[in-house]
Amino acid sequence: MRFNQKALYALAEKCEEGFDREGVLFIKEYTGLFRRRNYVQRWFKLKGNILFYLKTQEKTSIPVGALLLENCRVRIDPSNEKSPFAFVLLFESDSSPCSFFCLSDKDRQEWVAALKRASYEDLRVTLFDLRSKLMDLTGEDPLVEDSCSFSPPKDPIEDKSSKPSSSLSLIDEPLGFSIPDVSPVLELSLSCRDLFHPSGIIHFNTFCVLSTMTPPQSAWSKHAQTEVAESNRNPQYFTNVTFFAGNISMITQIKVSVYYVKEKGVDSATPLLLGNTQFTVSDIVTAKQQKVERLLKLRGCSTSTGSVTVQAWKMVESPESVRRFTSPLVRCSTIK
């Protein structure tokens, strides 16, 4: 990604709307001649999904770097030997966690809550929840007129090249930029219920894969994949699946396959198919409230392994419109 270094630096020094949270944190960094990892006390400023850190613990010191809070999880760290008030940021693109600790449990709880609310993904979850509630109340999609959609993420299991870099090039270009609308025509959200694991375990991780086949094609083509939902037999997947003009027609068949994976983010983990189901685009766009629920089954088995609910939104094409580009944000390099 490209960033305007001067704008980023200016934002770190002063924000007219104020920062979402700021204060002192201890962060584990490489320091000294022998590059050993030690905790350093710094002043941190959170604005949106960017966590700035300053050179010292003084509020007036200069900004020296930032963390971009996307594709990451915040976790309490009870095993930290330095402090009982520790937490970590776990980035999908980086195997080493970013470790912090606070001076009190209250301070830690407030930082953890603020960081969890900071990501674009959290905003998308909130939007999805409000969107669903309005549809239940009115029977109409409030965002159809705006052609609002979310692009599915790259395949974290098969597409190794899609992992974002751990650093960003800070050059003179706007913080965000626009790309022409590529005409999304259909968007799907998925949730599962009463998933059954063959070994009988209750809490397990799952994800969905959507494949398509449009006659006269005779082979399935993988289209998209959701995120991994952790320890939940009734998951709601927050990664919506978008179809674009020219990709599908009313006779296109869609197959939803639900997989179990032992550990999230482990490349060597082998997914286990729990079950799948099929329907056509026509089935879902003509269904009541554009929603279908299907039982999941394995080939040759008569019993179901749970069910999947698919909610659809037909998009309004607007070729002349421009959408804001929002890519997965990753850890940011030091500001020079």
Does residue 99 lie within any of the structural domains? Answer: yes
- The CATH number assigned to the domain holding 260 equals 2.60.40.150
213, 297: one domain = yes
- The CATH number assigned to the domain holding 90 equals 2.30.29.30
pLDDT tens digits, 16-68:
678 899 999 999 987 666 667 788 999 999 998 899 999 999 988 888 888 88
Does residue 327 lie within any of the structural domains? Answer: no
Q: Which residues have a Cβ under 8 Å from the Cβ of 209 and sit 6 or more positions away?
A: 222, 224, 225, 226, 256, 257, 259
**Residue 166 predicted with pLDDT over 50:** no
Domain boundary among 89, 104, 120: 120
109, 195: one domain = no
Which tokens is 294 given?
Answer: 């299907």
110, 191: one domain = no
77-91, 187-201, 282-296, 311-325: segment of lowest average pLDDT: 311-325
Does residue 175 lie within any of the structural domains? Answer: no
Does residue 104 lie within any of the structural domains? Answer: yes
99, 191: one domain = no
Task: Give CA–CA dist 75/264, Å, rounded.
Answer: 14
Q: How confident is the model at residue 322 (pLDDT cuts 50, 70, 90)?
A: very low
What share of the chain has pLDDT > 90, as a percent? Answer: 31
The candidate with the shortest Cα–Cα distance to 280, out of 203, 197, 212, is 212
Task: Give CA–CA dist 2/325, Å, rounded.
Answer: 12
196, 275: one domain = yes
The candidate with the shortest Cα–Cα distance to 185, out of 280, 291, 308, 281, is 281
pLDDT at 199: 80
**Residue 229 predicted with pLDDT over 60:** yes
For the residues 112-123, what does the mean pLDDT come to? 83
Residue 110's H or E segment, with its range, is helix 105-116
Does residue 52 lie within any of the structural domains? Answer: yes
pLDDT at 2: 54
pTM equals: 0.43
Give Cα 308 distance to the centre of its chain.
Answer: 20
Residue 207: which domain range?
184-314
Cα dist from 300 to 196, 226, 275, 304, whole Å: 16, 26, 11, 11
Does residue 161 lie within any of the structural domains? Answer: no
Q: How confident is the model at residue 165 (pLDDT cuts 50, 70, 90)?
A: very low
Backbone angles phi, psi at 215, to 5 degrees: -50, 140
Does residue 90 lie within any of the structural domains? Answer: yes
Task: Give CA–CA dist 244/271, Å, rounded.
Answer: 28
CA dihedral 227, 228, 233, 239 (to 10 degrees): -10
Backbone angles phi, psi at 160, to 5 degrees: -65, -30
191, 273: one domain = yes
Does residue 300 lie within any of the structural domains? Answer: yes
Q: Are 254 and 278 a contacting pair, CB within 8 Å?
A: yes
In angstroms, what is the C-alpha Rg of the chain? 22
The candidate with the shortest Cα–Cα distance to 168, out of 12, 325, 333, 49, is 333
302, 205: one domain = yes
pLDDT at 155: 40
pLDDT at 153: 39
pLDDT tens digits, 130-146:
777 777 777 776 665 44
pLDDT at 234: 93
102, 191: one domain = no
CA dihedral 54, 57, 61, 62 (to 10 degrees): -10
Number of domains the chain contains: 2
